């Protein structure tokens, strides 16, 4: 039986510093049937020229014509839609894939809607930081989308998913984290499997897109909360067997965020936290919501 075509979907923007190392790792993938589809969002540095040189040397690389700058999420949607494979593996411009990554994820795909692996944190010089993603969160599996309503262990750079998931909602560009939305859809309409192997080095640095979307430690609290609210808006709008539950979760969160005193979110997480905060590392995640966000912010200006 021949292996299905897998599309590696790479979205780039001003990534000349690390893109060659990432491209080298993609070309070393030992899976025999893949394409590398790349959408560059009008980079202002040498990223496009570097990509053109790679494309001239390997026919598996397909560059999408440049048009106008459309932003991080829409750039990923663009490259996803251009993929020919029924299985898509999202790719950031600054990580390093292990040669067996694509093959090992394909090995466990089975009838899952999405599979993913563990990641090792590395610094700007590609040196290990001594920690894996699985050291910081609990890795989730299964078919219960409520597990990813408030937090997730599933990152785009570590996943392989079925392209048909993209057709299940028109809200893919409604929040900064498209991989989070895809994970929700996978758990809602199929199931998620996890491979307990480190297959990618996840680079941690200030120039990464994730850093700028999520923000830095000292100045991003409002941005993080705004993103969380956008995610809840998207999830609550998706018709599903858990839609009423997600709407209830969003209402509880909104009350917590806009109040000085509101126990609705505390009670909600106390009751459902083993499901909704399954990937969260805290033993008692409900304690964060004992008092309203406005009171927490008043007492501690740097509170998240």
Q: Identify any residues that bridge with 132 across adjacent strands, giving them in sequence order.
A: 120
pTM for the predicted model, two decimal places: 0.91
Q: Distance between alpha carbon 39 and the CA centroid of its chain, in Å?
A: 17
pLDDT at 225: 87
Same domain, yes or no: 283 and 172: no
Structural domain includes residue 134: yes
pLDDT at 303: 52
pLDDT at 262: 79
CB 259 within 8 A of CB 292: yes
Domain coverage including residue 157 = 6-212
Structure tokens at 216: 């830095």
Listed in sequence order, the residues at least 6 apart from 187 whose beta carbon sits closer than 8 Å to its beta carbon are 113, 114, 142, 143, 144, 145, 147, 148
Please give the Cα distance from 155 to 222 (Å, whole number).
22
Same domain, yes or no: 254 and 193: no
* Residue whose token pair is 């599979």: 115
pLDDT < 50 regions, the chain: 211-218, 304
Same domain, yes or no: 185 and 94: yes
* Residue whose token pair is 């459902």: 272
Helix axes 221-237, 178-189, angle to 10 degrees: 30
pLDDT at 285: 86
Same domain, yes or no: 132 and 40: yes
Structural domain includes residue 304: no
Structural domain includes residue 201: yes
As a three-state string, the secondary structure of 126-142 is: CCEEEEEHHHCCCCCCE
Number of domains into which the chain is organized: 2
Structural domain includes residue 89: yes
Domain boundary (191, 212, 233) is at 212
Same domain, yes or no: 113 and 253: no
Listed in sequence order, the residues at least 6 apart from 89 whose beta carbon sits closer than 8 Å to its beta carbon are 6, 7, 8, 9, 102, 105, 159, 160
Listed in sequence order, the residues at least 6 apart from 280 whose beta carbon sits closer than 8 Å to its beta carbon are 137, 138, 150, 151, 273
Structural domain includes residue 1: no
Structural domain includes residue 41: yes
Same domain, yes or no: 192 and 86: yes
CB 179 within 8 A of CB 154: yes
Structure tokens at 36: 């590398």
pLDDT at 176: 87
pLDDT digits (tens, 9 = 90+) for 22-72: 999 999 999 999 999 999 999 999 999 999 999 999 999 999 988 899 999
Structure tokens at 1: 């039986």
Structure tokens at 102: 């694509």
The distance in angstroms from the start CA to the end CA of the chain is 51
């Amino acid at each position: 039986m021949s292996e299905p075509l897998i599309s590696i979907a790479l979205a780039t923007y001003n990534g000349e510093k690390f893109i060659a190392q990432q491209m080298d790792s993609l070309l070393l993938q030992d899976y025999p049937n893949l394409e590398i589809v790349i959408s560059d969002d009008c980079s202002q540095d040498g990223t496009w020229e570097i990509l053109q040189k790679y494309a001239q040397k390997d026919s598996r690389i397909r560059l999408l014509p440049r048009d106008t700058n459309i932003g991080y999420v829409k750039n990923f949607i663009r490259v996803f839609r251009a993929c020919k494979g029924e299985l898509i593996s999202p790719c950031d411009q600054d990580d390093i894939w292990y040669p067996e990554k694509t093959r090992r994820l394909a090995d466990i795909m089975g009838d899952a809607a999405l599979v993913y692996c563990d990641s090792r944190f590395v610094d700007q010089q590609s040196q290990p930081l001594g920690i894996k993603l699985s050291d910081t969160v609990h890795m989730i599996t299964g078919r219960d989308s409520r597990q990813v309503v408030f937090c997730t262990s599933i990152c785009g750079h570590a996943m392989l998913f079925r392209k048909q998931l993209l057709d299940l909602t028109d809200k893919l560009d409604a929040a900064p984290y498209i991989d989070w939305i895809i994970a929700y859809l996978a758990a809602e309409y199929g199931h998620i499997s996890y491979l307990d192997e480190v297959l990618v080095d996840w680079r941690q640095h200030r120039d990464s897109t994730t850093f700028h979307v999520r923000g830095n430690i000292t100045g991003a609290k409002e941005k993080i909360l705004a993103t969380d609210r956008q995610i809840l808006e998207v999830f609550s709008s998706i018709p599903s067997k858990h839609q009423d539950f997600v709407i209830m979760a969003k209402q509880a969160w909104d009350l917590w965020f806009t109040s000085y005193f509101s126990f609705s979110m505390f009670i909600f997480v106390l009751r459902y936290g083993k499901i909704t905060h399954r990937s969260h590392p805290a033993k008692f995640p409900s304690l964060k919501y004992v008092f309203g966000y406005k009171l927490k912010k008043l007492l501690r200006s740097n509170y998240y």
